[in-house]
Structure 1
Amino acid sequence: MDRVHVMELFGFPIHTIYLFTLVFSGILIILYVFFGDIADGIAEGSFLNPVLILAFITFLSAAGYIFEMTTSLNSVVILLIGAGIAGLLDIMLNIFVLIPLSTAEESLVYTDESLRGRLGTVLIPIPENGFGEVLIENISGRISKPALSYENTFIAEGSNVLIVEVENGVIKVIDYKEL
């Protein structure tokens, strides 16, 4: 390096600290990908998202290392520039990746009320005054639910049914014939 004086911290050149921090935070991100569900359970209710914290540290150390190696700016200025870049990239990561992923996950969930008015197919015949099972298909997958006949009539296997009501996790259906 053609610098006359290289800033040191704890006896190490600052670019080495940036590099070690980059490697360490990269390893933590990989571990978080594999074991993140455990960490989410432990830190439930926390306002700090571990993904954003790790991403900020990674972006800061990468920017700091690159600027230390390629420019002759003061290390404090490099730290400030790196923090600005890391903050901007962190905001973009949150807005364009994490928020859409969290809402997509919620859209796969259904409520009992959302089942009313939907069509299904009888998997297990529904006897008079008895239980059967109905398969409900949608874009996100298939679910099967215990079912009762709304009119207390027999509904054969393979019949199309219309969900009229949901009560205690059991759907009440009527035989549905397409016109």
Structure 2
Amino acid sequence: MTLFGYPIETIYLILLVVSGVLTLLYLFFGDILEGADEVSPFLNPVLILAFITFFSAGGFILEKVTSLNSYLIIAISAFISLLLDVLLNVFVLVPLKSAEQSLSYTEKSLEGRVGKTIVSIPTEGFGEVVIESYSGMISKPAASYENTSISEGAEVLVIEVKNGVLYVVPYKPSFK
């Protein structure tokens, strides 16, 4: 089969090379199109480029290996590409998107959390507190909220955060 005066294998190969180059460009300059998937999840550049890559690679391989009709090969390639695109989205892109958001924290989100002092906090000075989170341990400078000394290894409750410093009080759990 010929398309635009070229054999269909050549069209598939050109599509494969172009989608590969565009994928590399997106890898380096993808921040420009960061919000495109917010408008519609179907306009995600990663999914579009993956579909074109899967389609052209599948079509090229099927044209070279089988003697099926070119229209049937186009249908099979489109179906397989759509299936692989859905799998890529569901099992790779969606979990990555949610994992990226859960690894970050704000200073405001530390308020109300319980931590442990690793450097004792003097009455008028600073110590250090460690707070466990999903992404690991968060170590921050700390001062006493009530201007009392807090010994090393004590559990503390973060009352507020100002200028990167946790203001804490000794933690006394109500239910033990």
TM (normalized to structure 2)? 0.76
Q: Please report how far the alpha carbon of residue 99 of structure 1 lies from its aligned counterpart in structure 2 after TM superposition.
A: 0.9
Instruction: State how far apart, in whole Å, the 2-side matches of 1:39 and 1:123 are.
Output: 45
Among candidates 147, 163, 171, match of residue 157 of structure 2:
163
Among candidates 4, 9, 12, match of residue 3 of structure 2:
9
Among candidates 111, 117, 123, match of residue 121 of structure 1:
117
Check conservation: 1:25, 1:58, Cα contact below 8 A.
yes
Q: Which amino acid aligns with 1:107?
A: S
Check conservation: 1:159, 1:175, Cα contact below 8 A.
no
Could you give the per-residue CA deviations for residues 133-163 of structure 1, whole angstroms, max 9, x where no partner exists? 544344523434454423222446x554412
Q: Which amino acid aligns with 2:117?
A: T
Instruction: State how far apart, in whole Å, the 2-side matches of 1:144 and 1:61 are.
Output: 50
Matches within 5 A, 1:46-61: 46-47=39-40, 48-61=43-56
> Mean Cα displacement is larger for which, 50-59 or 28-37?
28-37
Instruction: State how far apart, in whole Å, the 2-side matches of 1:125 and 1:113 are.
Output: 22
Which residue is 1:26 aligned to? 20
Among candidates 73, 90, 99, match of residue 104 of structure 1:
99
Instruction: State how far apart, in whole Å, the 1-side matches of 2:96 and 2:37 are.
Output: 18
Q: Please report how far the alpha carbon of residue 45 of structure 1 lies from its aligned counterpart in structure 2 after TM superposition.
A: 3.2
Could you give the per-residue CA deviations for residues 84-138 of structure 1, whole angstroms, max 9, x where no partner exists? 000000000011111111111122123534552421336695544x766544344
Instruction: State how far apart, in whole Å, the 1-side matches of 2:113 and 2:53 are.
Output: 49
Which residue is 1:45 aligned to? 38
Instruction: State how far apart, in whole Å, the 1-side matches of 2:21 and 2:122 are.
Output: 54
Instruction: Structure 2 unaligned segments of length 5 or more: list them.
Output: none
Instruction: State how far apart, in whole Å, the 1-side matches of 2:14 and 2:25 are.
Output: 17
SS in structure 1 at match of 2:39 = coil
Instruction: State how far apart, in whole Å, the 2-side matches of 1:132 and 1:44 are.
Output: 44
Q: Which amino acid aligns with 2:6?
A: F
Instruction: State how far apart, in whole Å, the 2-side matches of 1:59 and 1:16 are.
Output: 16
Q: Which amino acid aligns with 1:46?
A: V
Matches within 5 A, 1:126-145: 127-128=123-124, 134-145=129-140
Q: Which amino acid aligns with 1:18?
A: Y
> Mean Cα displacement is larger for which, 162-171 or 96-105?
162-171
The 1:70/1:101 distance shift into structure 2, 3 A limit, reads same
CA RMSD of aligned residues (A): 2.9
Q: Which amino acid aligns with 1:163?
A: L
Identical residues among aligned pairs (%): 56
Q: Which amino acid aligns with 2:89?
A: N
Q: How many residues align?
A: 168
